[in-house]
Structure 1
Amino acid sequence: MRIRKITPLHIVAASSLAFPIAAVFGWPDAWWPLILFMLWSLALGVALATAGSREDRERIDRLLDHAHGSAIQTLSHHRHDWMNELQVLYGYLRLNKPDKAVDVVDRIRVRMDHDSRLSHIGNPKLSIYLLSFRTICDSLRLDVEVQDGLQFGTTPREADRLAQAVIGMINVIRVRSGNTSAYDSTLKLAIAQSAVGYQVDLTYAGELAAADSVDADLARCLDGVGDLVNVEPIDETQHARTMSVRFPLHA
């Protein structure tokens, strides 16, 4: 249960009850102090409930505004990408180069299939995070490969836990990724399903701050839902490494 924060309004409301309570004790044989106390308490309850509802509505409105802003920014990025592809396609058609135009159409088809797989991964939170990653991070490139038809988690609760673990691991790499001209920081994420569970492979190339503690932070993100089965350096000069995580299926 969420405990509501005590505000000055609550303190003033509680203090105002001192008058009807004093009346009850001051005139114990009279009936009107009890009526006054009951009406006063009812009025305060209505006032506090109204104020609380207003605060909740304002909080929800702020969250919705933030979500709407993120969605608009994501759509803007995708619109920009599609416009670039269409301009290239239009140029090849104008130049009468059908082979090149077919290549562009194939590239568009592959990207549409990729976005469709992310949208149907089985968890809206993870889908939105992966599709909008470019809008929240400009220091790391994220390439995602999802097995065709994959549904993350057998129940909504399990899917949420798995999604939270994957998002947490990506964020571990994101906050440590370098943003210099010497390296292009790239994280490749591959998600596949087998008979025993899910396999998530992360391959990172680029600078990585505090690399010695990455393993512990990744394991902490798993929070008991998966196992970090492999962390292997690929190229020490470029701080490249691959990480494998296994999420077993639970009966």
Structure 2
Amino acid sequence: MKSNRTKNEEVTGKQRSLEHALDSEDAGVDPNLRLIHLFNHYRHDWMNEIQLLFGYVKLKKYDKLEDLMEKIKNKVQQESYISKLGNAELIVYLLSFQAEVKDLLLEIEMEREVHLNELPLDSQGVGRLLMDLIQVFKRCSVFNGDGLGLHDLVVKFTEKSNLLLIELQYQGLIGADVLAAELERVMFESIQTVKWDIQLLDERHAAMYIEVPFCT
């Protein structure tokens, strides 16, 4: 399924069909309290990593240290990349989603820094489009209530010579028909000039590729 879409008209906040607020208990609360909650989450997350590290050392399970340190190194690197995306709204959204949304694991992957604000494209529009798409995947995920199902969404950013490539890879139960319709609707309502391709879509997997050409 492929499409090119160009829309020149401006779209106001009231006209947008999707909200970027996260579906969590903290949505709509005081921004300062939400920021404190976010800090507490990451502090708790890192304390768990440190305790696990000390636990391996105490038990002399040195063979497990290399894999754990590699995991921590990659985690630090990806969080650093997210913080340097150059779009404050998108950065806060991604970090908040990872901290607050428990039923869908969001992973961001970049091989190097991508500064959206320095690329010849509409960085704010790209950010809003990506947030809309992530919300669609969250709403279309199917949860059976036993807590055993894996729901994972990986978003990859790759800066090429003439475009920005965004890949979305989903694994987990999902309403495929509803997802297809929602993705198509969001892409056609977007003000972005993009090429998009849904290469895989069934009840347990989805793969979507978006090419955002640089302005010339």
Q: Shared fold (TM-score greater than 0.5)?
A: yes
Measured in 2, the distance between the counterparts of 1:175 and 1:77 equals: 23
Unaligned runs of 5+ in 1: 1-62
Measured in 2, the distance between the counterparts of 1:69 and 1:221 equals: 33
| 1:189-229 deviation per Cα after TM superposition (whole angstroms, max 9, x unaligned) | 1111101110011111223232341332231353233221x
CA 1:221–1:116 in 2, change beyond 3 Å: closer, same or farther? Answer: farther
The alignment's TM-score, normalised by the length of structure 1, stands at 0.66
Residue 157 (structure 1) shift = 8.1
SS at match of 2:107: strand
Bigger proportion of residues as strand: 2
Q: Give the number of equivalent residue pairs.
A: 186
2:153, 2:171 within 8 Å by CA — same for their partners in 1? yes
1:70, 1:135 within 8 Å by CA — same for their partners in 2? no
> Paired residue for 2:79?
115
The correspondence for 2:183, drawn from 186, 208, 215, is 215
> Paired residue for 2:206?
241
> Paired residue for 1:4?
none
2:137, 2:179 within 8 Å by CA — same for their partners in 1? no
- Of 195-204 and 135-144, more deviation after overlay is shown by 135-144
Measured in 2, the distance between the counterparts of 1:231 and 1:239 equals: 14
CA 1:147–1:221 in 2, change beyond 3 Å: closer, same or farther? Answer: farther
1:162, 1:225 within 8 Å by CA — same for their partners in 2? no
> Within the alignment, does 1:179 sit opposite 2:143 as a pair?
yes
Q: What is the 5 A alignment of 1:186-201?
A: 186-201=152-167
Residue 64 (structure 1) shift = 10
> Within the alignment, does 1:232 sit opposite 2:199 as a pair?
yes
> Within the alignment, does 1:73 sit opposite 2:37 as a pair?
yes
SS at match of 2:30: helix
| 1:107-137 deviation per Cα after TM superposition (whole angstroms, max 9, x unaligned) | 2222111100110111111111111213442
The alignment's TM-score, normalised by the length of structure 2, stands at 0.76
CA 1:110–1:211 in 2, change beyond 3 Å: closer, same or farther? Answer: closer
Unaligned runs of 5+ in 2: 1-26
Higher RCO, 1 or 2 (CA under 8 Å, sep at least 6)?
Answer: 2
| 1:97-116 deviation per Cα after TM superposition (whole angstroms, max 9, x unaligned) | 33433433332222111100
Q: What is the 5 A alignment of 1:1-251?
A: 66-154=30-118, 158-180=122-144, 181=146, 183-209=149-175, 210-220=178-188, 222-228=190-196, 230-233=197-200, 236=202, 238-251=203-216
SS at match of 1:142: strand
Structure 1 ranges of 4+ moved more than 3 A: 153-157
Residue 73 (structure 1) shift = 1.8
- Of 190-199 and 171-180, more deviation after overlay is shown by 171-180
SS at match of 2:128: helix
Query: Rg: which structure is higher?
Result: 1
